[in-house]
């Protein structure tokens, strides 16, 4: 057993739980006191108390040596650190507060309004150029067309708290994670890193568009681990219909499906859903799609993306002559290396596929010229889910033996 595994399991997992909640409480408090983003400060003021409460409960469990209800505490803590602040901010925003949502919330809701009125969630280059300079950034929607679905409630029913796109991000995230967790035998740590980890809780409460993508990807991995490749294809296909970040996961799981003989079940949903989501928008205005989803993230839009976290790719692009080309070349080189590794040593289990996805996305995030610190929630969750996936609840199928089969334990 590795050192990390021993630390994770110390005192039946309670020691790590206490450390997680204590550090998260400190992070939330610092955020509440120092963040320059008002939605983040509001989140920290609520979340710090919820994390502190969870920490005290774990301390009592440590003293009594009773490691019970860890999963229940995780979900309750998620409610206190994420769902409650999200609802409070949504209600305040519906009441007229303009400082209770990050810009991506507005972008997604504008996508829904455009989709309902024009048939495409995107503005073309000319329409964006015609906006006042201060509004051109919000004119871009660098997401897949499926993301507009989360903006449709506000387009249909107006500015009330439950039409806030974050509410629907949370609904999809919760549904996907609950179903995925039920497929695993020891999912506590895995669920914590997709819910109460501060980077996830803060993101969903204040912005949120990445969490349904992540949750659907994790659900797809859990489905693969339990030989539900048809459902896995639908889950990861839905994720890819929301955001380009899911496409590397689609590629890795497609390799897993092909290697294990499940391509016919997996590929229709994994490839079909993104295509079905794309076709209407592309047929209405293909150039608008390219401008929003391709040119803008690559730094060729009318305005510069604000995603500028100081990771190596961004620093190289800013401080080295021709740095953007150098960073792009490094990114391509890493992608090719991963592709070669996938070909020579393809994943044969969902756990190994999660590791491929986690390390691959981590490398991409570090090397992309424009990226956000919050994107780290993807590789962190994927890497922590890998051990849980290796202990998924298998079901008997024509190609997998039940765990009660003694042949599984023969040398």
Q: How far is CA 370 from CA 146, 314, 375, in A?
A: 23, 6, 11
Q: How far is CA 227 from CA 44, 137, 268, 383, in A?
A: 40, 43, 16, 20
pLDDT of amino acid 3: 62
pLDDT of amino acid 332: 87
Rounded CA gap, 234 and 292, in Å?
A: 25
pTM as predicted: 0.92
Whether residue 230 contacts residue 266, with contact meaning beta carbons closer than 8 Å, is answered with yes
Whether residue 351 contacts residue 252, with contact meaning beta carbons closer than 8 Å, is answered with no
The residue ranges of the chain whose pLDDT is under 70 are 1, 3-5, 7-8, 10, 393-411
pLDDT of amino acid 19: 95
pLDDT of amino acid 7: 65
Whether residue 357 contacts residue 150, with contact meaning beta carbons closer than 8 Å, is answered with no
pLDDT digits (tens, 9 = 90+) for 242-259: 999 999 999 999 999 999
pLDDT of amino acid 322: 77
Residue 359: in which H helix or E strand, if any? Answer: helix 350-367
The residue behind tokens 């590629």 is: 251
pLDDT of amino acid 4: 63
pLDDT of amino acid 64: 85
What's the start-to-end Cα distance of the chain, in Å?
21
pLDDT digits (tens, 9 = 90+) for 126-163: 999 999 988 899 999 999 999 999 999 999 999 999 99
């Amino acid at each position: 057993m590795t050192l990390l595994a021993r630390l994770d399991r110390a005192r039946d997992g309670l020691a790590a739980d206490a450390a997680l909640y204590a550090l998260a409480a400190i992070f939330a408090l610092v955020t509440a006191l120092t963040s320059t983003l008002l939605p983040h400060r509001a989140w920290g003021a609520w979340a710090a108390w919820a994390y502190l409460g969870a920490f005290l409960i774990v301390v009592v469990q440590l003293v009594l040596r009773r490691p019970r209800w860890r999963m229940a505490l995780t979900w309750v803590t998620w409610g206190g650190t994420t769902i409650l602040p999200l609802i409070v901010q949504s209600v305040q925003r519906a009441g007229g507060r303009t400082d209770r949502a990050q810009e991506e919330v507005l972008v997604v809701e504008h996508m829904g309004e455009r989709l309902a009125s024009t048939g495409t969630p995107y503005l073309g280059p000319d329409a964006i150029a015609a906006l006042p300079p201060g509004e051109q950034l919000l004119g871009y929607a660098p997401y897949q067309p499926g993301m507009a679905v989360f903006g449709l409630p506000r387009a249909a029913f107006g500015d009330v708290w439950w039409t806030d796109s974050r509410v629907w991000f949370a609904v999809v995230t919760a549904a996907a994670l609950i179903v995925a967790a039920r497929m695993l035998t020891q999912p506590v740590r895995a669920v914590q890193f997709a819910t109460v980890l501060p980077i996830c809780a803060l993101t969903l409460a204040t912005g949120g568009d990445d969490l349904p993508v992540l949750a659907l990807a994790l659900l797809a991995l859990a489905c693969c681990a339990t030989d539900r490749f048809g459902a896995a294809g639908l889950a990861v296909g839905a994720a890819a219909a929301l955001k380009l970040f899911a496409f590397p996961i689609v590629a890795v799981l497609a390799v897993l499906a092909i290697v294990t003989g499940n391509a016919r079940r997996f590929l229709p949903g994994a490839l079909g859903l993104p295509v079905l989501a794309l076709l209407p928008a592309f047929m209405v205005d293909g150039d608008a799609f390219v401008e929003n989803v391709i040119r803008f993230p690559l730094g060729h839009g009318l305005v510069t993306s604000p995603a500028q976290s100081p990771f190596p790719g961004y620093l190289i692009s800013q401080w080295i002559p021709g740095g953007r080309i150098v960073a792009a070349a490094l990114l391509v080189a890493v992608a090719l290396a991963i592709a070669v590794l996938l070909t020579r040593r393809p994943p044969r289990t969902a756990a190994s596929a999660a590791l491929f996805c986690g390390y691959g996305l981590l490398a991409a995030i570090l090397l992309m010229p424009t990226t956000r610190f919050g994107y780290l929630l993807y590789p962190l969750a994927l890497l922590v889910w890998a051990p849980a996936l290796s202990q998924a609840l298998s079901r008997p199928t024509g190609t997998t033996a039940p765990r009660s089969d003694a042949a599984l334990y023969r040398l």
